[in-house]
C-alpha cells in the first residue's frame, strides 16, 4: 500500500524565476501569487520571477515567496484531483516550510500565512544585528559530535545545533566568533567539510528569542484550524493537529532545532510513509530524504511536467 507525505522546503531553495512557469501555465497558481502580492502590499511575484537575486534572498521576501510556490503547487494538484486530505497521510515542512505545510493543509489562510512569514522574516532579521550572528554546516559529523563542537566553541557565547538535516549534515548557529570557532574545531573532530553559510542571521538558536516573542504575538492574532492531515512538527519530530499546540510549537521553532532527520525517520518508520513528495522550489528535501532513508521513494514536484507525471501516477 502506497502512503504519501507531502514535504515543503525551507529557506535556501529560493531562485530567481521561481513560480514563473507555474504562473504562465495555471490560473490557480496565478491566483495564489496575486493574493500573496495583495496581502503583503508588494509585487513579490515580480521579485520571484525577475529578481534581483539580492532582493529575493532577503529573509522577509524569501520566506513568503517559497510558501507561495509550495501552496500554488498544492492548489494546482487539488484542481487536478490530487487532494491533500485524500492522498496524503501527513505533511511536514523544513523551518518556514512548516507554514507552507500548514497553509496547504488548511490551518492558515493564504493571506495569514504570507503575512506571518513576512513578520517572521523581519523579526528574525532584526533579532541580531547584521554581522553579529552566523551559521555553519558541519559535514560528516554525527549529531552528538556536532553538539560537542558547539558546546566547546561557545566559550560564553551562543553556539548551538540549529538543523539536523540528514546524517552527516548538521548546521550550527550563534554568535559569529563562536560559529567560526566551531568550523575550526569540527575539522579537528573528523568533519569532511565545515563551512560558513551565506545567511543574514543566526536562525534556530537562542539569539532568536526576540523573534520568537514577535511570532507569539503575531500567531495569537491569527485564526487557525486543525490541518486536514497531521503535521510533523519540526521541534517534536512527531505529528500534531491541535491548533493551540501548533501555535506553541511554531513559536518554539524560531529558537529550536529543526529535527529533520528525526521527522523523516518518524514518517517512514512509525508513520508508514512509502513516498515523500516535495512540493516547492528546488529538490533539497528530496536529496535529504534519500540520505536519511535510502529505501523510501522521494520525488520533487516543481514544474508542470512534474505535476503531469505525478497526477498520472496517483490517479492511474
CA dihedral 280, 283, 286, 288 (to 10 degrees): -120
Give CATH 3.30.70.250 domain extents, the chain: 133-199
User: What pLDDT is stored for residue 266 in this prediction?
Assistant: 98
Confidence of residue 24 (pLDDT cuts 50, 70, 90): very high
Confidence of residue 316 (pLDDT cuts 50, 70, 90): confident
Chain centroid to CA 67:
9
User: What pLDDT is stored for residue 1 in this prediction?
Assistant: 60
Please check whether residue 205 is in contact with residue 173, taking contact to mean a CB–CB distance below 8 angstroms.
Answer: yes
Share of residues in the chain with pLDDT > 90 (%): 97
Q: Is 106 helix (H, G, I), strand (E, B) or coil?
A: coil
Please check whether residue 136 is in contact with residue 176, taking contact to mean a CB–CB distance below 8 angstroms.
Answer: no
Q: Is the pLDDT of residue 236 over 80?
A: yes
What does the pLDDT look like over 266-287, one tens digit per residue?
999 999 999 999 999 999 999 9
Q: Is the pLDDT of residue 2 over 90?
A: no
What mean pLDDT comes out for the span 182-198?
Answer: 96
Phi and psi at 169, nearest 5°, equal -135, 90
Comparing CA positions, the residue from 143, 136, 141 lying closest to residue 175 is 136
Within a 10 A sphere around the Cβ of 266, how many other Cβ atoms? Answer: 20
Confidence of residue 114 (pLDDT cuts 50, 70, 90): very high
Q: Tell me if residue 95 is catalytic.
A: yes
Tell me the average pLDDT of the chain: 97
What mean pLDDT comes out for the span 175-185?
Answer: 98
CA–CA separation, 251 vs 249, rounded Å? 5
CATH tag, 133-199: 3.30.70.250
User: What pLDDT is stored for residue 200 in this prediction?
Assistant: 82
Which residue in 173, 204, 214, 233 is the catalytic one?
204
Give CATH 3.40.366.10 domain extents, the chain: 4-127+207-315
Q: Is 61 helix (H, G, I), strand (E, B) or coil?
A: helix
User: What pLDDT is stored for residue 203 in this prediction?
Assistant: 97
Residue with cell 486543525: 226
What mean pLDDT comes out for the span 141-147?
Answer: 97
Reported CATH class of domain 4-127+207-315: alpha beta
Share of residues in the chain with pLDDT > 70 (%): 100
CA–CA separation, 263 vs 94, rounded Å? 10
Confidence of residue 168 (pLDDT cuts 50, 70, 90): very high
* C-alpha cell of residue 272: 508508514
Chain centroid to CA 165:
11
- H or E element, residue 202: none
Which residue in 13, 70, 95, 100 is the catalytic one?
95
What mean pLDDT comes out for the span 86-92?
Answer: 97
Helix 110-127 and helix 243-255, axial crossing angle in degrees, nearest 10: 30
Amino acid at each position: 500500500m502506497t502512503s504519501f507525505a507531502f514535504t515543503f522546503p525551507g529557506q535556501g531553495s529560493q531562485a530567481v524565476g521561481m513560480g514563473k512557469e507555474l504562473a504562465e501555465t495555471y490560473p490557480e497558481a496565478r491566483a495564489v501569487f496575486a493574493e500573496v502580492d495583495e496581502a503583503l502590499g508588494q509585487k513579490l511575484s515580480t521579485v520571484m520571477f525577475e529578481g534581483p537575486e539580492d532582493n529575493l534572498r532577503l529573509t522577509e521576501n524569501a520566506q513568503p515567496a517559497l510558501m507561495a510556490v509550495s501552496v500554488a503547487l498544492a492548489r494546482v494538484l487539488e484542481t487536478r484531483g490530487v487532494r491533500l486530505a485524500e492522498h496524503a497521510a501527513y505533511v511536514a515542512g523544513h523551518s518556514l516550510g512548516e507554514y507552507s505545510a500548514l497553509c496547504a493543509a488548511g490551518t492558515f489562510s493564504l493571506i495569514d500565512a504570507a503575512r506571518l512569514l513576512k513578520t517572521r522574516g523581519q523579526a528574525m532579521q532584526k533579532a541580531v544585528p547584521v554581522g553579529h550572528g552566523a551559521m555553519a554546516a558541519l559535514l560528516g559529523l554525527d549529531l552528538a559530535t556536532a553538539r560537542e563542537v558547539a558546546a566547546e566553541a561557545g566559550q560564553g557565547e551562543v553556539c548551538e545545533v540549529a538543523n539536523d538535516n540528514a546524517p552527516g549534515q548538521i548546521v550550527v548557529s550563534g554568535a559569529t566568533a563562536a560559529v567560526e570557532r566551531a568550523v575550526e574545531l569540527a575539522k579537528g573532530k573528523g568533519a569532511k567539510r565545515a563551512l560558513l553559510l551565506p545567511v543574514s542571521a543566526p536562525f534556530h538558536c537562542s539569539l532568536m528569542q526576540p523573534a520568537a516573542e514577535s511570532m507569539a504575538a503575531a500567531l495569537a492574532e491569527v485564526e487557525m484550524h486543525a490541518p486536514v492531515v497531521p503535521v510533523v512538527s519540526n521541534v517534536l519530530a512527531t505529528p500534531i493537529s491541535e491548533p493551540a499546540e501548533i501555535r506553541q510549537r511554531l513559536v518554539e521553532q524560531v529558537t529550536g532545532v529543526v529535527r529533520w532527520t528525526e521527522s523523516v525517520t518518524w514518517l517512514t518508520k512509525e508513520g508508514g510513509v512509502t513516498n515523500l513528495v516535495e512540493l516547492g522550489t528546488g529538490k533539497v528535501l528530496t536529496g535529504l530524504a534519500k540520505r536519511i532513508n535510502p529505501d523510501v521513494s522521494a520525488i520533487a514536484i516543481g514544474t508542470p511536467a512534474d505535476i503531469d507525471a505525478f497526477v498520472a501516477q496517483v490517479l492511474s
